[in-house]
Chain A
Amino acid sequence: MTQSAIPSPKKGRQLIDEYFIETRHRVIEIAAYLDRLDRSGDPATTSDFRSGALREALAVLCDGSYPRVDRIQMIFSDPTTEPRAELDQKAAKGAFDPEQEKG
């Protein structure tokens, strides 16, 4: 559903006028990040679990179906439902690592 409880006071073209430049900037930043990884020449950058999640997320940006942000959030999320047996590390990494979970 693309409806809102509270409609944005700014509409269509006005939203583009307001937010295009900063969004364009973010897309270029992503491109530069991916190029930086390529220049490092390390194939591990492609196989890293975070890179895999990022590729999946980028595909969602282009498939035209709403809501992109909710779907991307789930790509980066731990899909399991059982608690961990014990604490492995204090900090989260930003994407789910299936290999680590297999232990």
Chain B
Amino acid sequence: MNQTQPVTPYSDYLRLSKFPFIWCPGCGHGIIVQSFLRTLRKLGIHKEDVALISGIGCSSRAPGYLDFNTLHTTHGRAIAFATGIKLTKPHLHVVVVTGDGDAAAIGGNHLIHACRRNIDITALVFNNYIYGMTGGQVSPTTPKGMRASTAPYGSIDPPFDIAHLAAAAGASFVGRTTVFHTPQLDKLIEQALQKKGFSLVEVLSQCPIAFGRRNKIPQPFELMEFMKKGAVPFSKAKDMTPEELKGKFTTGVLADTDRPEYVEQYLKLCEKVQGS
């Protein structure tokens, strides 16, 4: 039935006057945003208690639509700004929204160091294999052979595996899925938000315009299916040969450990110094 008011159950988290999203028709980024809001609602997290920080890119436009403490920073630097916020106001749930270029190219150094420190920030990486906002240039996650505006003959660069990178750098919680798998996406975001320490969820998200059209998969749903086909659960991947895993990516929980959290450690140190 056609309604005269927004129908979403998450209106309380939204800046309704900013809608609709700036994103192209069929862009996967909105599916991740919806999952994030559903999870916040499920966990009973109040909008006052959320700080949402982004870098630059299509994905990084998300905070403008959401009624939290929001900050749209410079390209790749969101985690650095977020670190200052978390240290100053530890009671906030500090969440970073970032793209594959934002997180793994220009922001790669900030990402691995946040993982190493294990600061209590949740990063949601919207991985669409491409630089969407600037018109489809090759990104550090573009699969080999796929086309981009700066890889007109197909990319020859080996891509990064962002989830493995984060896990290896020490993130407490790392998960990966696609926008097709919304129950798993909800679950991973929930686990990430609840983890004390640095958590990261990499979400494969379709960009039908800058990536799909150039690679002859312009229909959003077909691009979602293309990503879904590449997904192999971690549990299953263990028993597969490298040959079988070629062109695939693993999904599920990649890391889930408990390590001392940075801000907690820092505040403990202050107490010790002040006591002595």
- Chain A bound to chain B: no
Residues on B close to A: CB < 8 A? none
Residues on A close to B: CB < 8 A? none
